[in-house]
Structure 1
Amino acid sequence: MTRRRSSFFRRGRWLPRFVPGLTALLLAVCLLPLLPATARAADPPPPSAPAARAAVAAMQPGWNLGNTYDAIPDETSWGNPPVTRELLRKVKSEGFRSIRLPVTWGVHQGAAPDYAIAPAWMAKVRQVVDWALDEDLYVMINMHHDSWMWVNNLSADHDAVLARYTATWTQIAAEFRDKPSRLVFESINEPTFSGTSGDDQNYRLLDELNTAFHRIVRASGGGNTDRLLVLPTLYTNADQGRLDALAAHLTALRDPMVVTTVHFYGWWPFSVNIAGYTRFDATSEKDLTETFDRVYNTFVAHGIPVVIGEYALLAYDHNRPGIIERGEQRKYFEFLGNYARERQLTTMLWDAGQFLNRNTLQWRDPELFAQIKSSWTTRSGTAASDLLFMPKSGAVTSRTLTLNPNGTDFEGLRHGSRTLVHGRDYTVSGNQLTLTAAALTELAGDRTYGVNATLEAGFSRGVPWRIDVITYDTPVLSNASGTTSGGVTIPTRFRGDMPATMEARYDDGSNAGPASWTPYQQWDTAFSAYTGDSIKLTPDFANSLRDGSRVTLTFHFWSGVLVTYYVTRTGDTLTGTTA
């Protein structure tokens, strides 16, 4: 996880994401295969040792201590409290069997040539490692934001960067050489390189770093001679070329105690809510299955374990609900957990404080975590939606919802402590669940705007599926004005409904907004709706509009209602109207 690729809560990252043996190292690198990516995976790499496979299996499931020791400049700088032993006990009690400890070392190092790591910083890292090991957890420590802070300059400042990388890992290896085998080293987080000629050079640079890491750790002796080592693909990405390049490197290393890692944050348009991808649909499923299949076929099928070192959704943030609808989140995590099990992948949840509140040691969304936890062992039934809308006025009619049993059996509906009666309150035909008009009339009561009742659909396995019965009316937007520097705040009476996405088009039909390639603009980049009284058009959106232009906005709400709004830019002023 880094903050370099987006301005939002990057994968849960809050905004506030030496030269001993150098000659031998360079000789070793020169002997590695340097073929183009398309030619690098002719033969599968040799399998990992049984001990390596057993260790990675024993690490499932894993949890990231994100935005803490990777934070800049210190552990509390990105909003989390200091780590306590109670936190690690909580993580262990919830069923996690490993933690990934991302560490940014560079801001705690002295000058060349020693690049000495500050003793106080090393002591902090050592303390957390010891606490976690005492809790019988596996621990994976790495070099984290250093990847984009200075390691990425390897091409332009080769010798200095390699010297610093070598000095850093030499100190880490020496510090932890006698720790138990449940401590695991990861060479670098999300490796990236600037100023290169393309992927072939990037692969060579990553091979060089991974070779240096491997040599340093193995030569440091003690438990490091056969400690489990984890190597990433370029960018920790699972495109086939990245996987093939790493496979070729493993073949060159021929170390049975080396395994691999990639990261996964979902189909990008869905994970950030852009281009109209508001649902975890067949496209998002296909992206996930094809990614995990590539990883399985390249490594796992040949006896090489894979750690999904980070997974979540890019735009998931407890502070900004609405970007990804709650039920769609649940479907994503349910599907991911199951398919990772099918493909024998060890998963490590990226948690920068958006899942577990480290001040209270409580899950911010217990229902969502229950879904994640259940996916480690079984499937759960879901449905096409967790939202069932009824209009404010008019006769109440029956409503039908499609169930997704996912191999389970539907067992019934509950409202609080009351079990609804099949035939009277609801019927089931195949996977079609229909709530009767009589039941909905009772559940809706006086039909106050918003959630009138919450049902639980029970299945034979897994966790229940939540269904909110909601009364709504067409939202009402009002005229507004703003500026390119401040954006536009549109007074809005939501009347029980919730926005899903926003289209923006000029009068000539072309796309308007920062994402000019799609009319459906990105939540939080172009617009947001975090309060109960307004929709916000961002300064980025305002500045992207052509001067003198009028833009038609179409707001899509989860009830299915569409509301049209118009924005005109004149110089630095924007005027919003309903007609």
Structure 2
Amino acid sequence: MQGVKRRTRRWTVLAVTAVATLAAGLGILAPSAAYADEGCKVDYKVASQWGGGFTGDVKITNLGSAVNGWTLVWNFPNGQRISQAWNATTTNVGDQVTAKSMSYNGSIASNGSVSFGFNGSWSGTNAVPTTFTLNGTVCTGGVVDPTTEPTTTPPPTGGISAMETVAAMEPGWNLGNSLDAVGADETAWGNPRITQSLIQNVADQGFNSIRIPVTWDNHQSKSGDYAVEDAYLDRVEEVVGWALDADLYVLINIHHDSWIWMADMNTNRTVVEARYEAIWNELADRFRDAPPELLFESVNEPQFNNVDDATAEALLEDLNVSFHEIVRGSGGGNATRVLVLPTLHTSADQAHLDALSATIDSLNDPNLAATVHYYGFWPFSVNIAGYTKFNAEVQADIEGYFDRAYDEFVANDIPVIVGEWGLLGFDAHTGTVEQGEKLKFFEYVGHYASQKGLTLQLWDNGQHFDRTGFQWKDPELFSMLQASWSSRSGTASTDQVYVAKTAAVADVSLQLNLNGTTFQNLRLGSTNLVQGTDYTISGSTLTIKASRLTALLGDRNYGVKANLQAVFSQGAPWRISVISYDQPTMSAASGASGTFAIPTQFKGDQLATMEAKYADGTPAGPQNWTSYKEFARAFSPDYTAGTVSLPTAFWAEVNDGQKVTLTFHFWSGKTVTYYVTESGGNVTGSLT
């Protein structure tokens, strides 16, 4: 798949031969001279290629003495250029490329290896480089003594480092709400039974890893030896096997047990420890000889009831240490398997990072990784308090969160998996955050995580990838997500151009967020529009001309009249919807609080947020620290039915008999003021 980093299957340790032959789309090694007592070998592969672009994978094997900090230099033979790299920093000076190690992968032991990748551009021919130098030594595939002929040193045996393992897991996907469902069966939360076809289709989307959350509670004896049902272990093993067969790294864990029974550890310690240890003893035994692509995560989102943070951190440390002792003590592949340890609440708050860091230091094990979860700046993530847009505050939250994880762990050679990420608002409705603002969030998270060397595993409980039809429910979201795996995408100040139905049509300007790209053209379907006639571009300002808008608006009936695409030099295109609208209107209504809905004529417009205030100006309804209510929780638009509903959750926190002023804010910039009063479970609503 275009631009996707994939790896070679590692069912066994693969020997890398020093053959300097080019096969179409495959790597070569470049023989030349070397210095005394030094040697290195480079595997350069064109992992994927498309019109004008390609993805390269580079593996360096150090055949000499240990290296602490490396610089690899080569010349491109056909004018290729690197646009983005991961696990290395690169510079281009003419045809010469210099790739330097990151803080976390600078050390290469004798006979050790390190890998990095990049996206680049090419034209005409994409031949591979012929000579590489590592820290000034020309790589020949052997070690050279000046008094003897060059000899070839065999490739190293053994696995890759924890840092390289976690890097190879990017990007990742969660099989959420299936084996982790709380109930008698994996279908208890509405998802279909897992199939091998589903797992293979996930891999085919370009994912390199899959996190398989597993809840054990209903499948574990509650007394005695706390044994797990053999049939359930068999089922977990079957799904893990399918994922390994699909060439995916796999992460399994103890999931919702964290709040079902483990949260009572402080008052029920003996039972909690016994149950926890029983599960990991069985898993360690069952998967003792599984390949290293299988990773274990000690527990999901650890939390403990009725304790302070210091006590909670100590309880979590006890579990993490017990997990480590059980798995390592079981031998086989578990002796070196990468083990993943969470922070308290899987939070990147500094205190929680510090506590986990202390635990990892005490274990003194190079094959450990840390995990946190990220669901964005909370007010934006759920659309509350007026945070309807991806603004500087939302961006700063991403940067702060990832910076802390990087500084605490990655900079100290401990890899980090962001084991779940997305938007919390998806739990209520995938439209909670406006589409364009949502896409900006996903674009930036993908970019910044790559900058910080963090591996992302998308949380999907069934709302994203259809598990029987194998299609994305939001293709735009996946397109942006997929692009973020290898490049940045351009965006714009908005993805909506509202033109009032009865108003004169004028030019409309949008600010482009180029994100390191260059604007190429504005497209309608497969047709490029004419610059200067249909639109103009000045710096980062795109102006759509009134004449083109008039043609697109056609009969001016309400709704989306056309979808344009701003195309950039790389990444996903940016959709711009041209919308005909008028001032939305609402009508008086009455009814029971459990079913109350306001009749609404949206007239092509879309609802952004709602304010609720009492007559004295204080906030009304739930979360009364803000007048701006939570989208899809305190209010919910239904564009097909022509209503805005106010559910029981809203009325439960409104003072009985007190008039509330509602202000509805629409994306066009229009507002509607509406008044409601609830008394004894009945609601009346009016425009005055």
CA distance in 2, matches of 1:461, 1:121: 45
Q: What is the match of residue 406 of structure 1?
A: 515
Could you tell me which of 240, 260, 263 is aligned with 1:152?
Answer: 263
Q: Does 1:129 align with 2:240?
A: yes
Q: What is the match of residue 290 of structure 1?
A: 400
Q: Does 1:522 align with 2:630?
A: yes
Could you tell me which of 591, 606, 609 is aligned with 1:501?
Answer: 609
Could you tell me which of 354, 358, 362 is aligned with 1:252?
Answer: 362
Alignment of 1:75-224 (within 5 A): 75-196=186-307, 198-224=308-334
Q: What is the match of residue 480 of structure 1?
A: 589
CA shift, 1:487, in A, is 4.5
Could you tell me which of 349, 365, 375 is aligned with 1:265?
Answer: 375
CA shift, 1:531, in A, is 3.8
Q: What is the match of residue 367 of structure 1?
A: 476
Question: If each structure's helix is expressed as a fraction of its own residues, which one has the higher value?
Answer: 1
Could you tell me which of 346, 353, 361 is aligned with 1:236?
Answer: 346
1:33-69 per-position Cα deviation (integer Å, ceiling 9, x unaligned): xxxxxxxxxxx9xx99961111111111111111100
Q: What is the match of residue 569 of structure 2?
A: 460
1:204-258 per-position Cα deviation (integer Å, ceiling 9, x unaligned): 0000000110011111111111111000000000000000000011111111111
CA contact (8 A) 1:487 1:541 kept: no
Q: Does 1:573 align with 2:679?
A: no
Q: Does 1:564 align with 2:564?
A: no
Q: What is the match of residue 470 of structure 1?
A: 579
The number of equivalent residue pairs is 531
Task: State the secondary structure of the residue aligned to 2:426.
Answer: coil
1:336-371 per-position Cα deviation (integer Å, ceiling 9, x unaligned): 000000000011011111110001011111121010
Task: State the secondary structure of the residue aligned to 2:578.
Answer: strand
Task: State the secondary structure of the residue aligned to 1:576.
Answer: strand
Q: 1:91 to 1:321 in 2, by over 3 A?
A: closer
CA shift, 1:321, in A, is 4.7
Q: Does 1:449 align with 2:558?
A: yes
CA distance in 1, matches of 2:529, 2:582: 27
CA distance in 2, matches of 1:211, 1:394: 68
Q: Does 1:61 align with 2:175?
A: no
CA distance in 1, matches of 2:383, 2:477: 19
CA distance in 2, matches of 1:320, 1:181: 37
Q: 1:322 to 1:52 in 2, by over 3 A?
A: closer
CA distance in 1, matches of 2:431, 2:173: 24
Q: Which runs of 5+ in 2 are unaligned?
A: 1-103, 109-158
1:375-423 per-position Cα deviation (integer Å, ceiling 9, x unaligned): 0110000001100000010211111111100111011101112211111
Task: State the secondary structure of the residue aligned to 1:458.
Answer: strand
CA distance in 2, matches of 1:257, 1:176: 17
Q: Which amino acid is 1:234 matched to?
A: L
Q: Which runs of 5+ in 1 are unaligned?
A: 1-43
Q: Which amino acid is 2:333 matched to?
A: G
CA distance in 2, matches of 1:321, 1:529: 13
What's the TM-score once normalised by structure 2's chain length?
Answer: 0.76
CA contact (8 A) 1:156 1:195 kept: no
CA distance in 2, matches of 1:427, 1:372: 29
Q: What is the match of residue 430 of structure 1?
A: 539
Q: Does 1:546 align with 2:651?
A: no
CA distance in 2, matches of 1:99, 1:569: 48
CA distance in 1, matches of 2:661, 2:595: 16
Q: Which amino acid is 1:537 matched to?
A: L
CA distance in 1, matches of 2:624, 2:609: 15
Q: What is the match of residue 394 of structure 1?
A: 503
CA distance in 1, matches of 2:190, 2:391: 33
* Cα RMSD (Å): 1.5
Task: State the secondary structure of the residue aligned to 2:652.
Answer: helix
CA distance in 2, matches of 1:529, 1:322: 10
Q: What is the match of residue 36 of structure 1?
A: none
CA distance in 1, matches of 2:542, 2:455: 35
CA distance in 2, matches of 1:104, 1:177: 20
Task: State the secondary structure of the residue aligned to 2:366.
Answer: coil
What's the TM-score once normalised by structure 1's chain length?
Answer: 0.90
Quick one: percent identity of the two aligned structures? Answer: 52
CA distance in 2, matches of 1:157, 1:323: 39
CA distance in 2, matches of 1:221, 1:516: 55
CA contact (8 A) 2:429 2:632 kept: no
CA distance in 2, matches of 1:488, 1:322: 21
CA distance in 1, matches of 2:595, 2:267: 40
CA shift, 1:483, in A, is 2.7
CA contact (8 A) 2:439 2:477 kept: yes
Q: What is the match of residue 511 of structure 1?
A: 619
Q: Which has the larger radius of gyration?
A: 2
CA distance in 2, matches of 1:361, 1:336: 25
Q: What is the match of residue 417 of structure 2?
A: 307
Q: What is the match of residue 381 of structure 1?
A: 490
CA shift, 1:530, in A, is 3.0
CA contact (8 A) 2:198 2:468 kept: no
1:89-111 per-position Cα deviation (integer Å, ceiling 9, x unaligned): 11111111110010001110123
Range moving further from structure 2, 199-208 or 220-229: 220-229
CA shift, 1:524, in A, is 2.0
CA distance in 1, matches of 2:540, 2:590: 48
Q: What is the match of residue 354 of structure 1?
A: 463
